[in-house]
Structure formats: structure tokens, C-alpha cells
A and B are shown apart, each in its own frame.
Chain A
Amino acid sequence: MYAISKFINISQNVVCENGKTIFHNQEDNFAAFMKNVYKSLNISYPKFYKMDDLCKLAFIASELLLQNETENDIALLFSNNEASLDTDLKHQQSIQNPEDYYPSPAVFVYTLPNITIGEVSIRHQLKSESAFFVAEKYQTDYLHKYAEYLLKTNKAQKVLCGWIHFLNGDYKADFYLVEKMGILEHSKEHINDITK
């Protein structure tokens, strides 16, 4: 049996930990929201400002789950519906007009959704199993089973699962940590509740 030890939900200017609001943003703007949460964490990580919005969201959600974590063998299973389309649109814009053609390497590098995994792995030094999935909605059945497989086969000691949505200013993050002990049973019902 495995358990969910902690979960984080971010949407509509609110950050919730285990279902309780821990941060409420006053400004109605994603960039300011993420910056305010980042400041509240009291960490110095200038690379945060270089990330695209999808990575910022994944970074903040993961930070809230892993800030006091000592385990490094934590698998990352991230997913969403739009992959990196928000940044893809920015790169496309930079090459659309031949008169104003300046593709940016700092934008292009974020045109892969698994860069979210890279950023979180670097921050928490996770040399671990990972995969980025694209799906219409959160794949509870598959991810429930896969997380338990990774734990049972000792391919990871803990598994961080996350749904990260960011497209054209619309956003949502649902993250939870799976391990041996926790506050909720690692069941499909609880996962559906967390990711609804």
C-alpha cells in the first residue's frame, strides 16, 4: 500500500496545500502571482525568472512539495494537455515574419514540455526516473498504476505526479507526492479528487 503524503493545487490566484489555502494573490496576473509565491518561499534561485510560465508553475508546485525533502530518488511523472504550446506560439511568432525573424534560443529551449522535468530535477538534484505525458485529461488509471510500479520495483523511492496546464494566460497545477506513508491512501478516488 502506498500513500499520498502531500498535495498542492494552484489555480485562480490561490495556492492550496492539502486542500487548505496557503497563499492568496491580490493581483490578477499570472506573472505577478508566481513572483509573489516565489518571494514568499524565501529562496534565492535567479534561474526562476528565466523559465517560461509552464516551468514556473511546475517549479513552484514542486518547491512547495519538496522544500524540506531529503530523498533524491524521486521519480517525476508530469503531464498536461497542451504540451509546450504556449511557448511554441512565442517561438512561431519569432519566425513567422521574415522581416522580423529573430528566433530566440532562450525561448526555443522551452518548446519541449519535459523541460519542466529538467528544471525541477536540477533544483532538487533528482537524478531519477521521469517522463512527460500528454493527454486529454489527467490519466488517473495509468499514472496510479505506473507510480506504484516504480515504487514496487525500486526504480524510485517516491514519485511526484503533476498536472501542469498553462496556455494563453489560463493555468492550473495539481501536484501530489506518493510514498510509503502519508495523509491519504494512494487510491484512484483520491487522485481524482486532487486533480479534478
Chain B
Amino acid sequence: MAVFIHDTNIISPLGFSTDDNFQKILLGTSAIEKVFINDKIGSVYAGKINDELFSNHFQSINADFKGSRIEKLLIAALSPIVEKNPLKKDSVFILSTTKGNIAALANDDLSGAFIDKLVQNINSYFGFETDPIVVSNACTSGVVAISLAKRFIEMEQFTNAYVVAVDELTPFVVSGFQSFQAMSSEPCKPYDADRTGVNLGEAAVAVYVSNENRTESIQILGDANINDANHISGPSRTGEGLFLSIERAINEAQITSDQIDCISAHGTATLFNDEMEAVAFNRLSLQNVPTNSLKGYFGHTLGASGLLETVITIESLKNNVLIPSFGYQQQGTTQQINIITKKEQKSLKTALKTASGFGGSNSAMILVKNSENVRN
């Protein structure tokens, strides 16, 4: 059974719709700036949604809602999608998040930090009649969530799914990444020779996935989520899990690697992650395919990143434009890969989206634009 991604929406520091975000990216705008976290941590380079701007935006969605910030982000991301695609009896809500409302812990509110509570609230806010599905698979969660939507539709459990991904920029996460010595003290530079680590970010993203083939829909042709079985925090030096994930996704899609027009990779800008990806891409002969990391625009939005980057990649396919990898100047991996350095109009049909994360997790997904619907 064919499964398609239709409408999308992004709430990020760059804007409050997919179009806003995509236009900013085409202009080469990055959300990364010095952000004050708290007195102890001080300021770090990160992507942070402006509270005042978001609050104004949220007023137009629901002026009466009194919930947590993260609930508002989820509602803002999903509302326009639900408006366009009214819920059906078998509609399911699939949430991707690594930390949910972890901010509640700082206020001694343990019950408020349960991800399950967050998802139940959103599920009943929109009136879903089925049990929600929550996936928490570190930085691959966003891609895994779409993969699950595809698979549950293929197994005819549902005909359609509302996939939403969210994570917030919190002292909890910033302090942890700092203890890992993984944070860059300047705007991040994925794949660059001078890269020094991650910038964190935040976003809420929603997409509608179903078995209907509409105009302008993007088909999910293949997907896989394979573990490295190597280390709980360090990426495999051989890129084994990522290699296997891409290989299986390509096989399921019944395409060959030379049919892939572009890659939206993970590219966190840590030394080891970017190197691991270059190794895996070379093992699959993907080293000449135009590749970007979008972390330079948004920072690493953790559980939201996979879905956020998938949506931007869909726009890239629909608009036939290659998006430059922000922050990249010169090759910084031992094996060569083809990082996109300037915006370029090019006929695009097939994209590969990948993600990798803590716990040895990896995900790969093949996205294809219907050739009848090519917009030039």
C-alpha cells in the first residue's frame, strides 16, 4: 500500500508556518543566536522561539487555552493541519519527543513531566478517538514517527495519521549537552573542518500522512531504523547502523542509490557524528549526491529535528531547489561527501532523509515526488 505525506506545518524561531520557514531558509537566514538560558549557564548559541511573537500567534489559534508552553506549541503546529484535514474515526495522533514537558521538573512538578499526560491532553484537545502513539527514540524520533505512521497505515490499523514532533530548549538539555562537552561556542558548522559541536534548538512540527494519493503529495517509498549495537552515546566508527538503515530503505523503495537526487542528513556538527555519516554515505556510493544538514538554520531540535528536516526536504523537492548546508565552508570529514554550498535550481524527484542519535539509533527514509506533479 502506498503512503503519502500531505500538509505540513512548522513552528520554529524562523516562523510559524512551513512557508515562512522555507522562505527564510531560501534567504539564507539562520535562527541561531546568543540565547540566555539561566544565571548559572549564562548564554549559549541556540535557536529559541520568541515567546512574545509566539504568544501573539497563539492568540489567533485559541485565546482561551491555559496550558503549558509545550502544549501550546503542539496545538499551534497541529491546528492548521486538522483544519484542512478533519479528523476521521480512525485518525491517530503520533507524537515524537525526547523530553516532552521536562521543564515541569524544575518546578518540582513530577506529574506534569509525564509525556503520557502531555499526549493525552493533546489527544483530547483535538478529539482523536484512538489511543495515541508516542515514540521517544532520541534524535531519530522524528523520522521514526513518520516511519511508524507509514507502517501502521500499511498494516491497515489506520488510514491516516497526524504526526507531530516537539522538543523545547531547556536548561535540562543544555546542561546535559554541556556536560558532554558537545556544545559549540559559536554558530555550528556541520561537516566543516572547523566544526566544534552542536547548537541546540526548539521546534514543533506537524504533518498529515495518509493512504490517499493527492496532487502534490510526497510518497514514503522505503524506511528503516537500525541500531549500531556499538555504544550508547558515541556513533559507530563504521557507520554500521546508518549504513544498514539506508541500505534497507533503498531496497524497500526498489530504487538504486544513483536515483537519489539529494540527502538531508543529520549533521549535528560534532566531530564524530559528521565523520560517521561521511563513512556510511561512502560505503553506499552516495558521496556525490548533494547533501545538507539543516542544523545550521535551526540548531539541533532533538525529537523535532527529523520531522522538521523532512518537511524542509519536501519543500526542497516540490520547489526543485537544493538548500545549502548553512555554516559549511571546507571539507571536514576524512572521506569526501558532496555538501551543498549554494542554492541551486535543479529538477528533483527523490530524496533521502537520515537521522542518528544516542542509544545507537539510526533512521533512513526515501521520499519521492509524484512525477505527474512536478512543479517547475
By a beta-carbon cutoff of 8 Å, the part of chain A in contact with chain B is 76, 81-83, 85, 88-89, 91-92, 94-96, 98, 101, 103-105, 108-109, 111-115, 117-119, 121-122, 124-136, 139, 141-142, 145-146, 148-149, 155
Contact = CB atoms under 8 A, between A and B. Distances in A.
Contacts of A118: 227, 231-232, 358-361
Contacts of A76: 227
Interface in B103-120: 105-106, 110, 113-116, 119-120
A103 B176 contact: yes
B133 A88 contact: no
28 contacts: A76-B227, A81-B116, A82-B114, A83-B115, A83-B136, A88-B113, A91-B175, A101-B40, A105-B233, A114-B137, A115-B232, A117-B360, A118-B360, A121-B229, A121-B360, A122-B230, A124-B229, A125-B229, A128-B226, A130-B361, A131-B148, A134-B135, A135-B133, A136-B120, A146-B152, A149-B155, A155-B224, A155-B248
A130 B228 CA distance: 11
A179 to B, nearest CB: 19
Given A142-B131, A146-B155, A112 B114 contact: no
B201 interface: no
Nearest to A104: B179
Contacts of B226: 127-129
Nearest to B227: A121
Interface string B132-150: 1111111000001000100
A94 B240 CA distance: 34
Contacts of A117: 137, 227, 359-361
Contacts of B175: 91, 94-95, 101, 103, 108
A1 B260 CA distance: 37
A132 B230 CA distance: 18
Contact of A131 (B40, B144, B358): B144
Contacts of A135: 116, 131-134
Contacts of A142: 131, 133, 152, 157
A118 B227 CA distance: 7
B225 A112 contact: no
Contacts of B180: 105, 108-109
Nearest to A115: B359
B106, B115, B229 pick with most chain A CB within 10 angstroms: B229
B179 A112 contact: no
A115 B137 CA distance: 8
Contacts of B244: 127
A129 B39 CA distance: 42
A146 B116 contact: no
A122 B229 contact: yes
B265 to A, nearest CB: 20
Question: By CB atoms of chain B within 10 A, which of A92, A117, A127, A128 has the most?
Answer: A127
B36 interface: no
B259 to A, nearest CB: 22
B361 A134 contact: no
A132 B137 contact: yes
A122 B232 contact: yes
Contacts of B65: none
B106 A145 contact: no
B47 interface: no
A95 B179 CA distance: 11
A137 B309 CA distance: 31
Contacts of B119: 134
Contacts of B137: 114, 117, 130-132
A181 B292 CA distance: 45
B235 to A, nearest CB: 12
B116 A114 contact: no
B229 A126 contact: yes
10 A-B pairs with least C-beta separation = A118-B359, A108-B176, A103-B179, A134-B134, A121-B229, A121-B227, A114-B359, A103-B175, A98-B40, A118-B232
Interface string B84-123: 0000000000000011101001100010011110011000
B154 A95 contact: no
A112 B98 contact: yes
B330 interface: no
A155 B100 CA distance: 29
B136 A132 contact: yes
Interface string B179-211: 110000000000000000000000000000000
Contacts of A103: 175-176, 178-179
Nearest to B120: A136
Contact of A149 (B154, B228, B230): B154
Nearest to B147: A131
A127 B227 contact: yes
B172 interface: yes
A112 B358 contact: yes
Interface in B239-276: 240-241, 244, 248
